[in-house]
Amino acid sequence: MSLIPDITELLARARADLRMGVPVVLTDDTGFSVLSLSAEALSAQRLADLRALGGEPVIAITVRRAETLKARAYDGDLARVLIPADADLSWVQAVADPSDDLNAPMKGPLMTERQGSANLHRIAIALTKSARLLPAAVVLPIEDGSGFAAAHGLTCIDHARAAPHLTERSPLREVVAARLPMEVSEAGRLHVFRPDDGGEEHYAVEIGRPDRDKPVLARLHSACFTGDLMGSLKCDCGPQLRGALAQMGTEGAGVLLYLNQEGRGIGLANKMRAYFLQDQGFDTVEANHRLGFEDDERDFRLGSDILKSLGFRSVRLLTNNPAKIAMMERTGIAVTERVPLKVGETAHNRGYLATKAAKSGHLL
């Protein structure tokens, strides 16, 4: 029946629940079930209620966060940290959030589980990540997960159905396109694309009427609220955005893909957490790792999908990032030329740019 939510819709509901601090139920095909909550959004009352159910709750954290905390990650990509019986909410959140790591570095010794499957814990972390929360989940095994979910009005997610949807990007649909005169060109047009999974919309800014049979001057630009809108001096995003549009305007044609993947795909709140850590002396990559994220959590394939839907098959790519070029080539978009975009260096972002060159391979 079409009125019943499918797995894509249930995952969108689960993300919204986690952001509000509401638990979700995860189940697998063996009958194993767990209750999962975002460590970031957890309240003291819900922690108490969770404990009242019995059993031993854990905090599932990524291997990046586990490395910082010196916790053994027996599951490879994650660790299941046992929550001591006397641990309060602040202890749980300190394991998830590195903001106070330097003030209180001794959080352990942290004991981690090594027995049993971590598949549902992996789904729990993936859900918190995709909800733009800290990648840490409080997880408690329960009996009869589907029955528990029904009795308490909770969203229930089946592992086998959910796993493919959490690793593959959602199809994008063009919602609308309209003329948009801009400072760089009066012949502008904005296309809005919306993913089927209820995630952030992405945009294509078309300058002029680019010939679909020729390589188009293109830029994949990740949203940066602080740089694009606020004029932040900590990055070069704003100057890159304006420089790319200006070059397209000068040439009379181009496409700028504005992808809502703030903070290298971790969201604005987590980017601000990373900035706080940078003020403590960590570089941008180290800060992401301490938060539990990889160097870069973005999916550049979204840009390739949008270009194809607009009818483009080859580009002259405005970028300093070889990863974008490699992605385009892998996904069927030919890159006939890399067009450098070296703008926006300041005294505030010189170290950031040096880290991008040294650790992320940017051609600066």
The active-site residue, picked from 46, 296, 316, 350, is 296
Q: Has 283 been annotated as catalytic? A: no
Q: Do residues 26 and 157 lie in contact, with contact meaning Cβ atoms separated by under 8 Å?
A: yes
pLDDT reported for residue 47: 97
Q: What is the pLDDT of residue 360?
A: 55
pLDDT on residue 287: 94
Q: What DSSP state is assigned to residue 227?
A: I
Q: Which tens digit of pLDDT belongs to each residue from 259-284?
A: 999 999 999 999 999 999 999 999 99
The answer to whether 38 and 18 have CB atoms below 8 angstroms apart is yes
Rg for the chain, CA atoms, rounded: 22
Beta strands of the chain (E only): which ranges? 24-27, 33-38, 58-62, 78-82, 136-142, 156-158, 172-179, 188-195, 202-207, 216-222, 254-259, 314-318, 334-339
- The three-class DSSP label of residue 129 is helix
Element containing residue 360 per DSSP (H, E): helix 350-360
Dihedral sign from CA coordinates of 274, 280, 283, 287: negative
Q: What is the pLDDT of residues 70-128, one digit of tens each?
A: 999 999 999 999 999 999 999 999 999 998 888 776 677 899 999 999 999 999 999 99
Question: Residue 218, SS3?
Answer: strand
| Tens-place pLDDT, residues 283-327 | 999 999 999 999 999 999 999 999 999 999 999 999 988 889 999
The model's pTM? 0.91
Other beta carbons less than 10 A from residue 142's beta carbon: 21
**Per-residue pLDDT tens digits for 37-68:** 999 999 999 999 999 999 999 999 999 999 99
| pLDDT at 342 (0 to 100) | 76
Q: Please report, rounded to a whole number, the percentage of residues in the chain having pLDDT higher than 70.
A: 93
Residue 296 annotated to the active site: yes
The catalytic position among 65, 197, 298, 305 is 298
Instruction: Summarize the confidence of residues 351-361 as an average pLDDT.
Output: 61
